[in-house]
Structure 1
Amino acid sequence: MKHGFACETQGNLFFDVARIIRYHRPRCFLLENVKNLVSHDRGRTFSIIRNVLEHELGYCLHWRIIDGKGFVPQHRERIFIVGFLDKNDFSFDTLSLPDPLSGPRLSAILHPENGSEKPESHYTVGKKAAVSEKYTLSDKLWKYLQNYADKHKKAGNGFGFGLCDHDSVARTLSARYYKDGSEILVSQGCDKNPRRLTPRECARLMGFGRPGQSDFKIPVSDTQAYRQSGNAVLLPVVEAIASHILPHLQN
């Protein structure tokens, strides 16, 4: 698969962003991308981005790679880029972030399944709002994922499923989660196959709501919901950066 500007479907998105910035000339912007943006193509991709934003558009840039697991139980490293049209003393060094080693665990976003939240759609059922059986992996899929992991382990590779419990921090949620859910599987004990996260749990994992809450509407199919969550930005990280930006715009 091609990445960066060589990707025919996504490689030109940055230039669409640059076109929008050039037209509207905002006083400030905030961009997010995968952390490997800095090192992609030996740094050439990020060099092009900096050249366009700094020299062609005239913005002062600041960037930092932040792991969101201080906010949510997910290891998700992303680069955040802030650009100001006017020079000021903004710095990521003074951004206050929670300790990633003391962040929440998966239990913070899972359905409690004890009746403390109301059943929702087809995600949870019954008086205790237990997770629907549709999210439990079939014997066939579970066996395939185990065999796949064993194959790559013997070959010395690190590919495989990510089995979690309530005290875990999950791997990065991706847009492909709808395919088999392999990167984040919730253990249901030795006598039962693990399950995928529900779309509601995926939304919470990205910072959109908490257990017992369903204010964030999910009006789309499970497949589309998984894709949207995997492609989303971590809401609490963006909120923290936006709050850090605000005083510099007010001044």
Structure 2
Amino acid sequence: MIYKTIDLCAGIGGIRRGFEMTGSFQNVRSAEIDESAAKTYKHLFGDDALNDLTSEEFKTELDSTEYDVLLAGFPCQAFSRAGKQLGFRDTTRGTIFFDIADIISRTKPRAIFLENVDNLISHDHGNTINTIVKTLEDELDYRVIGVSLDENGNYQYDRSSFVRNSKNFGVPQNRARAYIMAFSKKKYGNAIKLLTEQLPTESTEVVFEDVNAILETEVDDKYYMAEGYLETLKRHKIREHEKGHGFGYCVVNQEGGEHPIANTILATGGSGKERNLIYQPKEGIAGKVIPRKKTRLNSEGIRVMTPMEWGRLQGFIGYGFLDADESETFSFPEGTNDAQKYKQLGNSVSIPVIKTMADFMLNCFDILEQQQEEIVKALAYHNVYFTKKDVMENMGINAVQASAILKKLIEQQVIRRISHGVSTRYVNANREDDLPPFSQEEKVLEYAKENDSFSNKDIVELLQITVGSGNVLLSTMVKKGLLIRIKRGWYSAKV
């Protein structure tokens, strides 16, 4: 089965790409407000992502969009604590999460996948993540993976419930991020209790073993640091260490041990590059003067990472966009400057982590949908016949969802349908005998199950009998205790 996704706060499409790599997800709508990122997104996927997810126009478009999974790498913003709050529409108003929750409320996807910085968990003294969990669980009716209830009905979770590090998923980057995955309780009913309590913590797939594996052999001179700036960084590092702080530049392929890993790359780009310096001597570089450098290039062979190397750290290059013959297809639009490349990659996700999460979601879907089918198969095996209402009650789902499961099992020839007027019953497809026709009373009782109240006129039309015969039949059923008369001429099933 192919599940359809919408990609919100899409950036340059890292989350989308991780899901697409499974072969089981197809994106149908995207939204990204940053023009440069949206330009790269269109360059990579061919889709126009320049949409404002907070606009009513875009939300209205989503109202009529058929999709299964909402994806969003949303920003971390504080929620309101003021006054008597009536729900997420009051608590989260003015934040991107408010609009995401509004879209979820309106479109009701099967599942949700959200990504954020790891500080989301401690942000605003825990109020932010608490609001998100309660909104998803209580107001939107989704089961959040990693969240459980204690004996007093309080939600239980901690940092380990959501935070995962890219270094454990095959790329040499110490990048901790929060991931939130949730499944619709309305869609999957009681089967949702079978899901695991924990997101994946690691992957066995190694994309790049260490920093050395992502380095370019030849880089432009502009990436080598000016002597004056390098000296400034050294002095700053000494001052910070004297204060007991850990800040300072880091030459990762010298200081990283046997298999060095990079520090987190940042969306700020230029201001964070000194955290991942590279030792790579180059002949003729020492003392060279190049445009835009205030002093000569350093003699120690120290440079910053290139955008291509950042692309590898995030799994965009060398992993996420390889075609069938392993050829690289990732690129930026022509004319994109380095500052934008650093910003867009630093603001994105590690695709190998997302791919692992997408595989996990697929496994959850298999569990949920197979379990639903098994319940129906059990009904077919243990009962002479069963109805759609039986399926709804056993699984805790609505009529539309029950109909979809029954239709699928009929197509698979697991069950077959036996129609008797207003009511449809189902039996095991292997049963050779059919059920006897319903009596008039049985037809009325089946009708009563599907309608809160009805009149003699309804029964006359249902059974194609006279008004007098209808009155006699209904009066008899009331006397037998099968129906109750709720007002003159109107009846209901006996509760």
Q: TM-score of the superposition, structure 2-length normalised?
A: 0.43
Of 161, 166, 171, which aligns to 1:72?
171
Q: Distance in 2 between matches of 1:218 and 1:153?
A: 39
Number of residue equivalences: 229
Q: Do residues 60 (structure 1) and 143 (structure 2) align?
A: yes
**C-alpha deviation, 1:4, in angstroms:** 3.4
**C-alpha deviation, 1:94, in angstroms:** 7.1
What are the residue-to-residue correspondences of 1:95-114 with 2, within 5 Å? 95=200, 97-98=202-203, 104-111=209-216, 113=217
**C-alpha deviation, 1:221, in angstroms:** 1.4
Partner in structure 2 of residue 134 of structure 1: 222
RMSD value over aligned CA atoms? 2.8
Of 312, 316, 323, which aligns to 1:208?
316
Q: Distance in 1 between matches of 2:228 and 2:116?
A: 35
Q: Secondary structure, in 3 states, of the residue corresponding to 1:247? A: helix
**C-alpha deviation, 1:16, in angstroms:** 2.3
Of 238, 242, 245, which aligns to 2:358?
242
Contact 2:249 2:275 in 1 (8 A): yes
Larger gyration radius, structure 1 or structure 2 = 2
Partner in structure 1 of residue 475 of structure 2: none
Give CA deviations for 1:128-183 in whole Å, capped at 9, x if unaligned: xx111111111122111111111111111111112111741011111122236111
Q: Do residues 227 (structure 1) and 343 (structure 2) align?
A: yes
Give CA deviations for 1:97-142 in whole Å, capped at 9, x if unaligned: 2379xx721022111x2xxxxxxxxxxxxxxxx1111111111221
Contact 2:199 2:357 in 1 (8 A): no
Q: Secondary structure, in 3 states, of the residue corresponding to 2:125? A: helix
Q: Do residues 173 (structure 1) and 281 (structure 2) align?
A: no
Give 5+ residue unaligned stretches, structure 2.
1-75, 81-93, 147-161, 282-297, 320-325, 370-495
Give CA deviations for 1:35-57 in whole Å, capped at 9, x if unaligned: 22122222111111111111111
Distance 1:107-1:197 versus aligned 2 partners, 3 A rule: same
Q: Distance in 2 between matches of 1:141 and 1:97?
A: 38
Percent identity reads: 31
Q: Distance in 2 between matches of 1:108 and 1:237?
A: 18
Give 5+ residue unaligned stretches, structure 1.
114-129
Q: Secondary structure, in 3 states, of the residue corresponding to 2:263? A: coil
**C-alpha deviation, 1:69, in angstroms:** 0.4
Distance 1:249-1:180 versus aligned 2 partners, 3 A rule: closer
Contact 1:69 1:104 in 2 (8 A): no
Q: Distance in 2 between matches of 1:201 and 1:12?
A: 33
Q: Distance in 2 between matches of 1:209 and 1:225?
A: 13
Matching residue's letter, 2:178: I
Distance 1:179-1:153 versus aligned 2 partners, 3 A rule: same
Runs of 4+ in 1 over 6 A off after TM superposition: none
Give CA deviations for 1:28-81 in whole Å, capped at 9, x if unaligned: 111111222122222111111111111111111014311110210000111111
Contact 1:34 1:78 in 2 (8 A): yes
Matching residue's letter, 2:174: H
Contact 2:203 2:356 in 1 (8 A): no
Matching residue's letter, 1:182: E
Give CA deviations for 1:73-99 in whole Å, capped at 9, x if unaligned: 000111111010032533264737237
Larger RCO (CA under 8 A, 6+ residues apart):
1
Matching residue's letter, 1:4: Q
Q: Distance in 1 between matches of 2:165 and 2:365?
A: 25
Partner in structure 2 of residue 82 of structure 1: 181
Partner in structure 1 of residue 431 of structure 2: none
Partner in structure 1 of residue 118 of structure 2: 35
